[in-house]
Structure 1
Amino acid sequence: MAQNRWFEEILLGEGRQTLSKAITEKDINLHAAQTGDFFPHHMDAEWCETQPFKKRMAHGTLVFSIAIGLTASDINELAMTYGYNRLRFVKPVFIDDSINVKTTIVAKEDHKKPGFGLVFESVETFNQHNELVMVCEHVYLVQRKTIA
């Protein structure tokens, strides 16, 4: 859905809650094939049984990709991703876990490029037990309605 919003229209404290998505064995296998990351933590169930977590876990980059994808519900043609700060994988995500995401606008600041500002969005990813599994800060470059 398109919803164009200028820098000035984005408010501190606003946010979104996403739907959930189950992380499947097929997701993990496909991600391994796409990235070349075939580490045993993700691919070898027998080896994982000898490790503290006892079962295969999703790649952090897979969890990150799906979590950010879940937040992509509204298209703002006045904004684009500038980057991500402080990405942390707090707990592992296993096959058949479901994740959902809560976002909150936590800061805004000027950008050196005239006519633009930066918007900082906290991204918190939770599993089906409402346990925090991943956190990061998404930074957007957003057009201003008026040049500061």
Structure 2
Amino acid sequence: MINEQFYEDYETGFSRRTFGRTITETDVVMHAGQTGDFFPHHMDAEWCATQDFGQRIAHGTLVFSVGIGMTASTINPRAMSTGYDRVRFIKPVFIGDTITVTASITEKRAHPKRDTHGVVVERIDIANQHGETVLVCDHLYLVERRHAGRD
């Protein structure tokens, strides 16, 4: 779906929530193969049983990737992702956990070099099926202004 929004159309405080997505063993194994991260925390059930968390955990980068993908339900040709700030892995995600994502506009600011664009910051909060936050980050967008100018 296409949803054209200019910088001026974004409202601080606007929030959206995704449907759930269960993290599977296949997700973990595929991510390990793609990244080369075969650490026992993710792959060795017997070793994990001796650790505090008691079971294998999903890679933080897997949870990040899946969570961000879950928010990509619309295309805005006036905006482009420029990166992520303050990525934090808060709690482990286990095989079989279901995650949901809440994305909230937390800030709008002038772009330091382009008066034709602004920066929109979207806080990403990924939670497990118990409502516990497992990952947070700020997603930064470069967004075209309807009219050049400053805030």
Q: TM-score, normalised by structure 2?
A: 0.97
User: In the comparison of the two structures, how many residue pairs are matched?
Assistant: 148
Q: Which amino acid is 1:136 matched to?
A: C
Aligned-pair CA distance for 1:114: 2.9
Aligned-pair CA distance for 1:15: 1.5
What are the equivalent positions in structure 2 for 1:50-129 lying under 5 Å apart?
50-111=50-111, 112-129=113-130
> For 2:95, what is the secondary structure of its paired residue?
coil
Q: Which residue of 1 aligns with 2:28?
A: 28
Q: Which amino acid is 2:98 matched to?
A: S
- Mark the runs of 5 or more structure 2 residues left unpaired by the alignment: none
Aligned-pair CA distance for 1:103: 0.9
Aligned counterparts of 2:115 and 2:102: Cα–Cα separation in 1: 31
Q: Which amino acid is 1:70 matched to?
A: M
Instruction: List per-residue Cα deviations over 1:42-85 (Å, max 9, x = no partner).
Output: 00000101110010000000000000000001110100101101
RMSD in angstroms over aligned alpha carbons?
0.6
Aligned counterparts of 2:28 and 2:47: Cα–Cα separation in 1: 16
Q: Which amino acid is 1:146 matched to?
A: H
> For 2:136, what is the secondary structure of its paired residue?
strand
Aligned counterparts of 1:8 and 1:80: Cα–Cα separation in 2: 15
Q: Structure 1: which 4+ aligned runs deviate by more than 2 Å?
A: none
Aligned counterparts of 2:115 and 2:14: Cα–Cα separation in 1: 25
Aligned counterparts of 1:15 and 1:70: Cα–Cα separation in 2: 14
Task: State whether structure 2 residue 7 is matched by structure 1 residue 7.
Answer: yes
What are the equivalent positions in structure 2 for 1:39-54 lying under 5 Å apart?
39-54=39-54
Q: Which amino acid is 2:71 matched to?
A: T
Aligned counterparts of 2:17 and 2:126: Cα–Cα separation in 1: 10
